[in-house]
Amino acid sequence: MRKVIYFDQAATTKPYPEVVEVVTDCLVENWGNPSSSYEFGKDARKLIEESRITLANCIGASPEEIFFTSGSTEGINWFTRELQNDPVYTTEIEHPAVIKSIANPQYVSLDKNTVIKTTEIPKYSKVMAAHVNNEIGTILPIKGIKDRNVLLFLDATQSFGHIPINVKTEEIDLMVVSGHKIHGIKSSGFLYASKEYLEVIKNYPMQVGGGQENSFRAGTENVAGIVALAKAAEISLKDRKEKNRKIEKIRNYLYGEITNKIPCAHLNGTANWSKRWCGNLNFRFDGYKGEELLAWFDVNHIAVSTGSACSSHSGNPSHVLKAIGLTDDQANSSIRFSFDETNTLNEAKEVYRVLVEGLEALRK
Ligand code: PLP
């Protein structure tokens, strides 16, 4: 395998060795259909239900409130389709899965920290937004939003496993999680729907067909993905405080070096760390092209991103950076560094060294 320093953890993550182990076990030993009534099928069913309990425990939910999906996009699309033309309050910095799927979006402004202005959200409305923004790391003020008595659909794709969430104490009504962002595997995830909301939505299944997932999401389950998700969630949440301290050290080092020593560098988004996920730094480098910097990192075996992985081939400037006030040129000169506890300070030092060399080499 190609050896890379991976600073693109917001795009996807490498499955933990323990995840690979449980997936292999599913594919080699436990490959039965969970709906079959013989023991071999029941073994697969047992794995699913144990995983459901594990995941419910991770967020303070009941197992009946967890529905397995193929990832966050699916859960988001299901909710927005079900709402049809209802106004949904959101922001212009959301992931395309949110922005493209809401039929009647109502955009709420952001404050100087790129945080949603909660006072602009009408009481008793419906809100859908990311807990942690995938491009600039902004953390959603859940309490301030819930104080508006709204229905909150939380896109926890970038936060689950990193920031502990309790859906009951934080009064989250619906939430999506994606396995591949937490060292699980791709095309796995779950939707949490609170019991109260289940009553409303039981007539709007995500997929119809067989009776899987309580007839809510038909189709033979992705047993390996589900088991991987539960294992990845357990591992991610373990010793989280300590892991976040390690990530903060990497952030502090990179931020300090880049802002103190590179005059053309400007942080996109807030430097108020209490409002930003510590595993995200997004810089613009005035006078440079992000694509060229990315290619420089790439030939030096470092993976970073110019925006979200999904939009990085579009050639268009990031809608998130534009929404926070950058010009096209500024947005196109930006690089996102995203890292987690599996990265090291030595790797960050190499990232910085290669960046400095790249800025020198690419200077016009
Ligand atoms: N929401 C956010 C904030 C994301 O970062 C992503 C993926 O990058 C998604 C939704 C879509 O997630 P998935 O790949 O699981 O469909």
CA-based angle 53:226:195, to the nearest 5? Answer: 45
> 331 in helix, strand or coil?
helix
pLDDT digits (tens, 9 = 90+) for 311-321: 556 678 999 99
Residue nearest to ligand 1 atom 12, measured at CA:
72
For the stretch 330-344, pLDDT in tens is 999 999 999 999 999
Residue 73 CA to ligand 1 centre (angstroms): 6
Count of residues in the chain? 364
Cα 309 to middle of ligand 1, angstroms: 9
Q: What pLDDT was estimated at residue 18? A: 98
Catalytic residue among 26, 58, 278, 310: 310
Interval 298-303 mean pLDDT? 98
Q: According to the model, what pLDDT value does residue 312 have?
A: 53
For the sheet with 265-267, list strands across it: 265-267, 280-285, 334-338
Give the highest mean pLDDT range of 197-201, 261-265, 360-364.
Answer: 261-265
Instruction: Give the torsion through C-alpha atoms of 226, 239, 94, 117, to 10 deg.
Output: 140
What confidence score (pLDDT) does residue 197 get? 87
**b/e 211-227 (16+ beta carbons within 10 angstroms → b):** ebbeebbeeebbbbbbb
Distance in angstroms (rounded) separating the CA atoms of residues 298 and 221? 37
Q: Which residues contact 274 (CB under 8 A, 6 or more apart)?
A: 139
Q: How far is the CA of 227 from the centre of ligand 1 (A)?
A: 20
> Is residue 310 among the annotated active site residues?
yes
- Say whether pLDDT at 108 is over 70: yes
Residue with tokens 């108020």: 272
In the chain, pLDDT over 70 holds for what percent of residues?
A: 97
> Which residues contact ligand 1 via a Cβ below 6 A?
71-73, 95, 97, 130, 134, 155, 157-158, 178, 189, 308
Comparing 229 with 313, the larger pLDDT belongs to 229
Q: Does residue 154 contact residue 145 with C-beta atoms inside 8 Å?
A: no
pLDDT band for 84, please (50, 70, 90 cuts).
confident
For residues 333 and 283, give the distance between their C-alpha atoms in angstroms, rounded to a whole number: 8
What pLDDT band is residue 117 in, cutting at 50, 70 and 90?
A: very high
pLDDT at 1: 66
Residue closest by Cα to atom 6 of ligand 1: 157
Measured on CA atoms in the order 84, 85, 88, 90, is the torsion positive or negative? positive
DSSP 153: E
pLDDT surpasses 60 at 308: no
Tokens of 228: 């991987």
Residue 16: CB atoms within 10 A of its CB come to: 19
**CA 264, CA 273: separation in Å to the nearest integer?**
22
- Which pair of tokens denotes residue 298? 């790439």
> For residue 7, is pLDDT > 90?
yes
Q: Express as a percent the part of the chain with pLDDT over 90.
A: 92
